[in-house]
Amino acid sequence: MTDLRGAEWVRPKPSPRSMRGDLGLAVLLAFAALTTSLLYQRTGLIAEPAEPWVWGLGLGLATLPLSLRRRYPVPVAVIVSVGFFICGQFAVPEILIVNICLFIALYTVGAWEERRALAVWARIAIGGALILWLVLSLIISSSDTDAFPGLSRSGLFSAYATFAVIQLITNLMYFGGAYYFGERSWRAARAQARLEAQGRELELERQTSAAQAVALDRIAIARELHDVVAHHVSVMGIQAAAARRSIERDPVRSAAALEVVEESAHTAVEELRRLVHTLRTPEAETGSSTVGIAQLATLIAESQSAGVPTTLIVAGDPRPLPMLVDVALYRVVQEALTNVRKHAGRGATADVRLRFTAGTVEVEVSDDGVRQRAGEHSEGAGLGIRGMRERIGAVGGTVQAGRREPALGAGTGGFLVRASVPAPAPAPTPAYANSAHPAESEAGAIDA
pLDDT of residue 212: 67
**Please, are residues 228 and 272 in contact by the beta-carbon 8 Å criterion?**
yes
pLDDT of residue 307: 79
pLDDT of residue 377: 43
Q: Cα(81)–Cα(89) distance, rounded to whole angstroms?
A: 12
3-class SS of residue 366 = strand
Q: Cα(260)–Cα(184) distance, rounded to whole angstroms?
A: 81
Q: If 0-12 CB within 10 Å is exposed, 13-18 middle and 19+ buried, where does residue 386 land?
A: middle
Q: Cα(189)–Cα(3) distance, rounded to whole angstroms?
A: 12
Tell me the β-bridge partners of 365. Answer: 352, 417
Plot region of 50 (φ>0 → left; ψ -120 to 50 → alpha; else → beta): beta
pLDDT of residue 441: 37
Query: What domains are there in the chain, each with its CATH number?
Result: 16-204 (no CATH), 293-426 (3.30.565.10)
Tell me the β-bridge partners of 303. Answer: none
**Please, are residues 42 and 85 in contact by the beta-carbon 8 Å criterion?**
no
Sheet holding 360-367, edge to edge: 310-315, 350-356, 360-367, 415-422, 398-403
CA distances from 112 to 115, 126, 177, 296 (A): 9, 17, 16, 74
CA distances from 332 to 152, 273, 354 (A): 105, 21, 12
This prediction's pTM? 0.52
| Positive or negative torsion for Cα 218, 219, 223, 229 | positive
Q: Over the chain, what is the mean pLDDT?
A: 78
CA distances from 359 to 12, 55, 154, 236, 401 (A): 61, 95, 100, 38, 21
Q: Which of 66, 73, 77 is nearest to 11 (CA)?
A: 73
Q: Which of 156, 165, 157 is nearest to 138 (CA)?
A: 165
**Please, are residues 336 and 376 in contact by the beta-carbon 8 Å criterion?**
no
Q: Which residues of the chain have pLDDT under 50?
A: 1-7, 284-288, 372-381, 408, 410, 431-448
**Please, are residues 64 and 26 in contact by the beta-carbon 8 Å criterion?**
yes
The DSSP-derived string for 326-362 is HHHHHHHHHHHHHHHHHHS-TT--EEEEEEE-SSEEE
Tell me the β-bridge partners of 356. Answer: 361
Neighbours of 50 (CB within 10 A): 20
H or E element: which one contains 216?
helix 159-246
**Please, are residues 70 and 107 in contact by the beta-carbon 8 Å criterion?**
no
pLDDT for 423-440, tens place per residue? Answer: 876 655 554 444 444 433
DSSP 26: H
pLDDT of residue 27: 94
**What is the DSSP pairing of strand 415-422 with strand 350-356?**
unpaired
pLDDT of residue 72: 92
Percent of the chain residues topping a pLDDT of 70: 72
